[in-house]
Amino acid sequence: MTPKNLFSDIPAELAEEAIHVLVESHGVRIERIVSRGHITAPGSWYDQDRAEWVMVVKGQARIAFEDRPEPVALGPGEHLVIPARVRHRVVHTDPDQDTIWLAVHFP
């Protein structure tokens, strides 16, 4: 058991979001996601078969939901649960700094 730091090993260049699985066990996956201006491709939606809890640890983001007129803004410490099969997309992450997310996927 060696401690690790959520803020270490972040690439200097990010052509794509950096997704690192921190732990996966018994149907639960915990990821660290690093975005730097990355968004979901226009016209694309996430439509996952598992629920997801997301939290912005650092930075800023906005998530749009197909059934809501306005995106949800998230800043440091803010989190939400996205139920399974709820179509959503990331429409903004800060291009000038890392947005570090924790994402927990669960049944």
Query: Residues, the chain, total?
Result: 107
| Prediction pTM value | 0.92
Which domains are seen in the chain, by residue range?
A: 18-106 (2.60.120.10)
Q: What is the pLDDT of residue 21?
A: 97
Q: What is the pLDDT of residue 1?
A: 86
55-98 pLDDT tens trace: 999 999 999 999 999 999 999 999 999 999 999 999 999 999 99
6-50 pLDDT tens trace: 999 999 999 999 999 999 999 999 999 999 999 999 999 999 999
Pairwise CA distance, residues 14 & 8, whole Å: 14
